[in-house]
Chain A
Amino acid sequence: MNISAAKMFIFFSELMGKPVFDKDSRRIGEIYDLVVKPSQVYPISDGLVIRKGFPNRKYSIVNWLDIEKIDPEGAVIKIQGSALNYFEIHDDKKELTLRRDILDQQVVDTHNHKVIRVNDIQLLIVDHALMIAHVDIGGRGLLRRMGFLKSVDLIVKSFNPKAKYLKNEHLISWKHIQPLTINPVSMTIKIDLPQKNLTNIPAADLGDIFLDLNIIHQIALFKSLNLANKTKIFTNIDFKTQRLLLEESSDQEISELLNNIASDEATDFLEKLPRDKTKHILNLIENKYSKRLSQLLGYSGDSAGGLMTTEYIAIAKDTKVFAALNQIKERKFKSEPAQFIYIIDEANHLINTTNLRRLIMAGPDEPIQNSAFPKTYFVHLDSSVKEVAYLMEKYKYFAIPVVDENNVLQGIITVDDILSQLIAFAWRRLKRIKIIQKT
């Protein structure tokens, strides 16, 4: 196959609509689409979709091996035009094709954490094939597609030959691009990027990206993700979307998801649901965890009991420091920070508080009691948000323990939970005038 060697890159828009000739130099149609197959990072050309006829259009796919030449002048294939099969619609469900799935579609830019629309696709010419190198999301891409690029360039050049605009290509490497094509059978997104790319996006940004998608893409993407990414998204979106996603999930998916979400996030969500729905979901979750959740749901939302999470590290008071450190290493946490360690007796009474730094500084054979803070501060289940905030600010705590009337440790409140409450409180008045809305 011969691709003009003068250029290393070619834009897909330069190929679209160009004539296709068969081996006898007969014009058999025009270049319509490019089928690509995944290969390592950059997908590589696998077939050419030819379109002919108007208004009754017909489509045919030519295997890439049968292509003699392809460049902005057009394509030549090695076989006879009459040997091709034509179809009424170009709708191959398995493959990724540029025109149908990427060009003009919305994709996720995992590098800049945004949902973007593809104006053009830049292909890299590698000896026998074309590789997707970049997607073009800039104004020059738009002009090129409209066919105005050359004339606009000419005008700009005549005014200012060094204009910034002339070199202002806005290209994004394919390795950062996650397409959002939905497989019509499984109704999931074809994820050919490693999910690691999505995992690297901070949870809050991932939630924002998610909210930028339309409802159908949201459901499809959510279904396609692994549990870690699902959890990240679920805890960073609004209640309406959360509810929608759960309605689209199977019971098993719901239970997996909620078992993996920290108890304070889970109760935040559950307490907004109607009672019968909450009950149904609690029944799906692991017995032990659901008991804890329903207990948490019993507390008022703006009391310490309603705010707290039940994920914390509590260690028996006679434990030696090295044993305590080992215990901490073995613990798996859903999301809460683990700087603080609570020292308890056999009946779960809160005795003392210590933190990781203090533990590490203490001798390994000392009892953990020796590393404890001189005084332990705590709040009660019914303490108000204001009291909690006041104590945490006063003693500069990242987390504060919550006890019941018998001084039995119930949970902890972390600074992020308090902060979100306080922000909501401080902005309530502002919000009445300024409703931040999407449109």
Chain B
Amino acid sequence: MKNLKTFWAKILIFLSVMGPGIITANVDNDAGGITTYSVAGAHFGYALIWSFIPIIIALVIIQEMCSRMAVVTGKGLADLIREEFGVRITFYAMTVLVFSNIFNTISEFAGIAASAELFGISKYLLVPLCAIFVWWLIVKGTYKSVEKVFLVACLFYVCYIISGFLSKPDWNLIAKSSIHPNFQFDKAYIFMLIGVVGTTIAPWMQFYQQSSVVEKGIKIENYKYSRLDVIIGAFVVNIIAIFIIIVCANTLFVNGIRIETAKDAALALKPLAGQYCFYLFAFGLLNASVFSACILPLSTAYSVCEGMGWEIGVNRTFKEAPQFYSLYTAIIVIGAAVILIPGVKLVPIMLISQATNGILLPFVLIFMLLLVNNKRLMGKHVNSKFYNFCAILIIVSMILLSLFLFFTVFIK
């Protein structure tokens, strides 16, 4: 009886602590994510599946460091960078963040435009409408109540899993490809690999995750539940990613279809939805894009103002928090405006934005690593040697990949 009681108590604590990891994971599966995984599957078949085992490990390690810092210090990542490294470094770090998030926001609006194409609506109508909707949602403080709707709509990803089974993939081959790294020294392959890593472990996620854990006010005694939240989130995001790749490999790669527009990517859902796959895909893409388009500009403005010491918050007026509102509005306006340029190619934009994430990721990780190993801040909760080894390995391999990409693009 007593065991049962503590079991339920534990479940209750977990329910109260969970959220940040799982929400971050779902925002992570944004337009850029869906597109990158689709293209990875369609163009390279199973050749990139192996990368998901190291990616899951890396994602758990990185997100876990963020939650741990949040719980131990009670501060956001931008706060900590400012307090430990001063204004100048904060300024550069924030510039990197704003830069990468503008790219990401552009890719969210690209996702909205792509779904407009599929629905047969003009992007010149849907993109501005969504931009205004997103802006209004946050500024009027309505976002929190809509968040649940977004999360429920994320069940759309289950379609990929069902579609994955329906397409009857060769599971043996999949298992083999996931254990045997199939690395190719080829520009397109490396670009894709950086994109896949970059979209799964994006720089903004670390800032967002840490702030949400801080806001939850989780205490160190309950930290283990928060870690579970991170692990579940990491698995959810990657399992969906793997299924998107499997489905696309099975439906597109084998037939030699390359993804040039969103229409091609939607074909992946044909085994499940038949001729309706375009609408299903368009719906999923729209939800993912709008969800992330809400979070990204907000989390950027939040982090930057936190770091620079400006007033934050949607419960303040424009006059009280001018930098916050300007930044927030500017990111949305830029994101939407780029997509409205006539003749702009949507799929490449989404891919480039995810690769930018991958290239900028090591910089954020270096800061995190320095902070999480600071004894004065973290006390006995600093990283273990093994943890540091893994983290450094991630940083070094990301830098090597980026350098390699750089050389293949600019030297050859």
Contact = CB atoms under 8 A, between A and B. Distances in A.
Contact of A105 (B83, B140, B142, B144): B83
Interface string A120-154: 00000000000000000100001001110000000
Contacts of B315: 436-438
A214 B211 CA distance: 11
Nearest to A220: B74
B217 interface: yes
Given A142-B87, A146-B91, A137 B74 contact: no
Nearest to A120: B87
A434 B140 CA distance: 7
Q: Which of A119, A146, A184, A215 has the most CB of B within 10 A?
A: A215
Q: Which of A91, A105, A184, A437 is the most central at the interface, judged by chain B CB atoms within 10 Å of its CB?
A: A437
B314 to A, nearest CB: 7
Interface residues of B, number: 30
A439 interface: yes
B82 A437 contact: no
Interface string B314-352: 110000000000000000000000000000000000000
A117 B375 CA distance: 23
Given A215-B217, A216-B73, A216-B74, A435 B144 contact: yes
A433 B87 contact: no
B148 to A, nearest CB: 12
Nearest to B309: A117
Interface in A69-96: 89, 91
B140 A439 contact: no
A284 interface: no
A433 B87 CA distance: 39
* Dominant secondary structure at the B interface: helix
Given A89-B376, A240-B217, A214 B75 contact: yes
Interface in A415-439: 433-439
Contacts of B219: 215, 244
Interface in B93-142: 140-142
A142 B215 CA distance: 27
Residue in B86, B298, B308 with the greatest tally of chain A CB atoms within 10 Å: B86
B385 interface: no
B309 A116 contact: yes
Interface in B139-166: 140-145
A279 B215 CA distance: 29
A217 interface: yes
A104 interface: yes
Contacts of A244: 217, 219
B309 A119 contact: yes
Contacts of B246: none
Contacts of B144: 435, 437, 439
B191 interface: no
B5 interface: no
B83 A215 contact: no
Interface in B37-92: 73-75, 79, 82-83, 86-88, 91
A104 B215 contact: no
A435 B145 contact: yes
A142 B86 CA distance: 10
B207 interface: no
Interface in A104-119: 104-106, 116-119
Given A104-B87, A117-B82, A438-B313, A215 B74 contact: yes
A137 B217 contact: no
Contacts of A215: 74, 214, 217, 219
Contacts of B253: none
A106 B76 CA distance: 13
A355 to B, nearest CB: 39
Interface in A365-386: none
A184 B215 CA distance: 23
A215 B216 CA distance: 10
Given A104-B82, A104-B83, A105-B83, A436 B74 contact: no
B302 interface: yes
B88 A439 contact: no
Contacts of A146: 87-88, 91
A273 to B, nearest CB: 15
A214 B214 contact: yes
A139 to B, nearest CB: 9
A145 B87 contact: yes
Contact of A438 (B83, B88, B215): B215
Nearest to A217: B74
A104 B86 contact: yes
A103 B83 CA distance: 8
A436 B138 CA distance: 11
A146 B309 CA distance: 14
Given A137-B309, A438-B313, A439-B298, A145 B145 contact: no
Interface string A229-270: 000000000001000100000000000000000000000000
A137 B311 CA distance: 11
Contact of A437 (B83, B91, B143, B214): B143
B16 to A, nearest CB: 10
B139 to A, nearest CB: 11
A289 to B, nearest CB: 30
A433 B141 CA distance: 9
A439 B75 CA distance: 14
B309 A435 contact: no
Contacts of A216: 73-75
A257 B82 CA distance: 36
Nearest to A100: B376
Contacts of B375: 89
A240 B140 CA distance: 24
Contacts of A147: 88
Given A119-B87, A146-B91, A215-B217, A439 B302 contact: yes
Contact of B141 (A106, A118, A437): A437
A155 to B, nearest CB: 18
B141 A435 contact: yes
Interface string B208-224: 00010011010100000
Contacts of B298: 439
Nearest to B374: A89
A145 B74 contact: no
B376 A91 contact: yes
16 contacts: A91-B376, A105-B83, A117-B309, A119-B309, A142-B87, A145-B86, A146-B87, A146-B91, A147-B88, A184-B376, A214-B73, A216-B73, A434-B140, A436-B315, A437-B144, A439-B302
Given A137-B309, A146-B87, 12 more contacts: A89-B375, A105-B83, A147-B88, A215-B217, A217-B74, A240-B217, A244-B219, A434-B141, A435-B145, A436-B315, A438-B315, A439-B314
| The 8 nearest A-B residue pairs measured at CB | A117-B309, A216-B74, A145-B87, A214-B74, A215-B74, A215-B217, A437-B144, A146-B88
Interface of B: 73-75, 79, 82-83, 86-88, 91, 140-145, 211, 214-215, 217, 219, 298, 302, 308-309, 313-315, 375-376
